[in-house]
C-alpha cells in the first residue's frame, strides 16, 4: 500500500527528529558501566519464591508456612537482586514484618476455620509490590520528578487499599518513567531500572520497576497502570503476566499524574504477576464494587470461543517490522490452540492499524465532555508552571536539566501538535472500532504482537518511539487485554503475545492466559538461564 503525503511527511519529520536526538544523546549522555555486560541475576534458591500468591495464601491459612517466613524470603530476595535491577525505590520492610506477625497471630486466633479467612482475606499474608505512581500511604509519591522529592502519599489509592484489605502486605514502591509517560523506566530522581534477563536491556515503562522486580522473583504480585502499554510492555519485556482491564472498572484515583481531558477513558489499572492463576483473584479484588461488571465468576469454555490472529499492523512506516521470532511464536500459539482445543484460528488484517499511533496520539489530546483539554505535558513537568522544552534541551546538553531526554522530547513533540484533530484519523479509529467490536462480540479472542521486538537495549526507545503503537491502540479501543509470556528468544529474552477480547469480557483473556501458561511454561527464572 502506497504511502499518503501525510504519512510521507510524518516519516520524514520523525526520522529528522530522531536523528537529532540520536546524535545529541550519544554525544552527550554518560556511558553505562561496561562492568554490567555479562553479569547475571542470582538464581532463585528459596522454594517459597516460586509459588503463586494464591498458593502462598493457602499455605499461610493452613499454617504450612507463616506470613513472616514468606515476607522474610521476599525481603532477602529484594536485597539480593535490587542492587542489579534498581527496581524498588523505597522499601517498608520493618512495617511489612510487623504486619506479617499480626497476620500469623490472627490466624492462630481464628476460630471460624480456613474457609472464613479465604472468603474475608483471600490474600492474607502475601507480599505485594506497588508502582510508585499509585498512592501507598507513608511512601514516596514522586512520579520520578526531582521537584516532587520528599512528597509522601497520605492515603492509599483505591486498588492498593482493596488489596491491603484483602490481606496483602506491601513491601515497597517501584520505579517508573518520568511522569509515567515513556516506555523505559528512567528518571533523574531514582535512576534507571534494568531488565532481570539482561541488565543492558530495558524493563519497559511506565510500570518498569514492577515488571523488573516481578520478573526477577523479588515480588509475586504487583499493581500497574496502563494508558499506552504501561502494564503490557513491562510484562512482555520481563516475561510475566499482566492485565489491562476494561476501562472504568478498576479505579485510578490517587494515581499521579492523574488523567485529564478524555484520557481517563483510556487509562486502566490492573494486576501484574508471575503466575496466571493470580490474575483473576487480583482483578476481582482490585475492581471492588465494580467487579460484577466483568462476571468473573462465570465459567469459560475455551472450545466454545472464536479465535483470531492479527500478525502485525499492516506495515506502518512509523513502526519497526515485527521480528521473525515474534511472528513465529504467535504462529506456534495458533497451532497449539487449533491442536489442543479443536478450534479454527482465523487470520485477520485491519488496514486501519497502520494509523495506530496517530489514532492514539489524536485521542489522547481530545478534550473531555465539558470541553476541557488535557493538561500539557510541559505543565506536568513543571508542576503547574510549564517548562520551556528548548531551554530544557539546552540545559540537558550541559548536564543541568532535572528532566530526562525522553520527557524533553515528548514536550518538544507536544509543541508540534495541531489543535484541530484530523478527520481522516478520527474516521480510521471509528471504522476500526466498529470492525473489531462486531468481530469479537462476547465470545471472540484475538492475538496481537505485544511489541515489534524483544526488550531493546537501554535508551533505544528514544530512536524508535512509535513502536508503542502495538499496545497503545488497544487503550483507545477500550478493550481488555492480557499479556502472556511465551518462553525465551535465542538471546534468552522473554517473548510473549497480547490476548484481547471484547469490552467487559476480561474473564475470557484470563482463561486463555491460564491455558497458555500450561502450554508454553509461563515465567522463567532469569538466573537459571
pLDDT, one tens digit per residue, over 259-292 is: 999 999 999 999 999 999 999 999 999 999 999 9
Stretch (H or E) spanning 353? none
Average pLDDT, the chain: 94
Question: pLDDT tens, 296-334?
Answer: 999 999 999 999 999 999 999 999 999 999 999 999 999
Q: Would you say residue 472 has pLDDT above 60?
A: yes
Distance CA 222, CA 130 (A): 6
Listed in sequence order, the residues at least 6 apart from 472 whose beta carbon sits closer than 8 Å to its beta carbon are: 228, 229, 356, 357, 360
Domain at 17-27+42-287+299-528: CATH architecture: Alpha-Beta Complex (3.90)
What does the pLDDT read at residue 420?
82
Between CA 82 and CA 97 the distance in angstroms is 19
Lowest mean pLDDT among 164-168, 177-181, 260-264, 438-442: 260-264
* pTM of the predicted structure, to 2 decimals: 0.95
Q: Write out pLDDT tens, residues 122-132.
A: 999 999 999 99
Q: State the DSSP code for 174.
A: E
The CA distance from 471 to 297, in Å, is: 27
3-state secondary structure 383-403: CCCCCCHHHHHHHHHCCCCCC
Residue of 37, 26, 48 lying closest to 84 (CA atoms): 37
Cell triple for 102? 499480626
For the chain, the domains span 17-27+42-287+299-528
C-alpha span between 304 and 356 (Å, rounded) = 30
Residue 187: which of 143, 243, 124 has the closest Cα?
A: 143
pLDDT digits (tens, 9 = 90+) for 332-387: 999 999 999 999 999 999 999 999 999 999 999 999 999 999 999 999 999 989 99
**Would you place residue 27 in the very low, low, confident or very high pLDDT band (cuts 50, 70, 90)?**
low
What is the spatial distance between Cα 471 and Cα 355, in angstroms, rounded to a whole number?
A: 13
Mean of pLDDT values over 434-458:
98
Helices and strands per DSSP (H, E), number in the chain = 17, 13
Judge contact between 136 and 153, C-beta under 8 A: yes
Q: Is the peptide bond before 257 cis (omega within 30 degrees of 0)?
A: yes
Catalytic residues: 131, 206, 230
Task: Render pLDDT for 90-144 as a digit per residue (tens, 0 to 9).
Answer: 999 999 999 999 999 999 998 888 899 999 999 999 999 999 999 999 999 999 9
Degrees to nearest 5, angle at CA 193 with 126 and 249: 50
- How does pLDDT run across 175-190, given as a tens digit for each residue? 999 999 999 999 999 9
- As a whole number of angstroms, the distance between CA 214 and CA 279 comes to 14
In this prediction, residues 12-30 reach a mean pLDDT of 60
**Percent of the chain at pLDDT above 90?**
89
Higher per-residue confidence, 449 vs 35? 449
Amino acid at each position: 500500500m502506497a504511502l499518503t503525503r501525510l504519512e510521507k511527511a510524518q516519516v520524514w519529520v520523525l526520522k529528522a527528529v530522531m536523528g537529532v536526538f540520536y546524535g545529541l544523546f550519544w554525544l552527550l549522555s554518560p556511558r553505562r558501566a561496561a562492568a554490567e555486560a555479562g553479569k547475571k541475576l542470582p538464581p532463585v534458591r528459596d522454594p517459597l519464591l516460586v509459588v503463586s500468591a494464591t498458593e502462598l495464601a493457602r499455605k499461610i491459612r493452613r499454617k504450612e508456612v507463616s506470613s513472616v517466613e514468606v515476607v522474610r524470603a521476599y525481603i532477602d530476595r529484594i536485597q539480593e537482586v535490587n542492587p542489579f535491577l534498581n527496581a524498588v525505590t523505597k522499601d517498608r520492610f520493618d512495617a511489612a514484618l510487623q504486619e506479617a506477625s499480626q497476620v500469623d497471630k490472627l490466624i492462630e486466633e481464628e476460630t471460624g476455620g480456613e474457609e472464613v479467612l479465604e472468603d474475608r482475606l483471600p490474600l492474607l499474608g502475601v507480599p505485594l509490590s506497588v508502582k510508585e505512581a499509585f498512592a501507598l500511604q507513608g511512601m514516596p509519591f514522586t512520579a520520578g520528578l526531582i521537584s516532587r522529592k520528599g512528597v509522601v502519599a497520605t492515603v492509599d489509592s483505591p486498588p492498593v487499599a482493596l488489596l491491603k484489605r484483602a490481606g496483602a502486605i506491601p513491601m515497597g514502591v517501584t520505579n517508573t518513567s518520568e511522569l509515567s509517560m515513556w516506555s523505559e523506566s528512567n528518571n533523574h530522581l531514582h535512576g534507571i531500572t534494568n531488565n532481570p534477563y539482561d541488565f543492558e536491556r530495558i524493563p519497559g515503562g511506565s510500570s518498569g520497576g514492577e515488571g523488573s522486580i516481578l520478573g526477577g522473583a523479588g515480588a509475586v504480585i504487583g499493581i500497574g497502570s496502563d494508558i499506552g502499554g504501561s502494564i503490557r510492555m513491562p510484562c512482555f519485556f520481563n516475561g510475566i503476566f499482566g492485565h489491562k482491564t476494561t476501562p472504568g472498572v478498576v479505579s485510578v484515583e490517587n494515581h499521579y499524574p492523574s488523567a485529564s481531558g478524555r484520557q481517563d477513558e483510556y487509562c486502566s489499572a490492573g494486576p501484574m504477576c508471575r503466575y496466571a492463576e493470580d490474575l483473576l483473584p487480583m482483578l476481582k479484588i482490585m475492581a471492588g464494587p465494580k467487579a460484577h461488571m466483568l462476571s468473573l465468576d462465570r465459567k469459560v469454555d475455551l472450545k466454545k470461543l472464536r479465535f483470531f490472529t492479527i500478525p502485525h499492523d499492516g506495515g506502518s512506516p512509523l513502526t519497526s517490522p515485527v521480528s521473525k521470532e515474534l511472528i513465529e511464536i504467535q504462529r506456534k500459539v495458533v497451532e497449539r490452540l487449533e491442536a489442543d482445543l479443536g478450534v479454527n484460528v482465523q487470520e485477520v488484517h485491519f488496514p486501519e492499524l497502520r494509523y495506530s499511533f496517530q489514532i492514539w496520539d489524536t485521542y489522547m489530546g481530545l478534550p473531555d465532555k465539558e470541553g476541557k483539554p488535557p493538561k500539557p505535558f510541559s505543565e506536568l513537568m513543571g508542576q503547574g508552571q510549564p517548562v520551556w522544552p528548548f531551554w530544557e534541551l539546552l540545559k540537558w546538553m550541559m548536564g543541568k536539566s532535572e528532566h530526562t531526554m525522553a520527557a524533553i522530547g515528548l514536550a518538544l513533540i507536544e509543541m508540534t501538535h495541531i489543535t484541530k484533530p484530523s478527520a481522516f484519523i478520527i474516521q480510521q479509529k471509528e471504522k476500526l472500532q466498529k470492525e473489531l467490536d462486531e468481530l469479537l462480540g462476547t465470545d471472540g479472542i484475538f492475538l496481537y504482537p505485544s511489541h515489534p521486538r524483544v526488550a531493546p537495549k537501554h535508551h533505544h526507545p528514544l530512536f524508535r518511539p512509535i513502536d508503542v503503537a502495538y499496545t497503545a491502540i488497544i487503550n483507545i479501543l477500550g478493550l481488555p487485554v492480557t499479556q502472556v509470556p511465551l518462553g525465551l528468544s535465542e538471546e534468552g529474552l522473554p517473548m510473549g503475545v497480547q490476548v484481547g477480547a471484547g469490552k467487559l469480557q476480561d474473564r475470557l483473556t484470563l482463561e486463555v492466559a491460564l491455558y497458555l501458561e500450561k502450554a508454553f511454561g509461563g515465567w522463567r527464572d532469569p538466573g537459571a538461564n
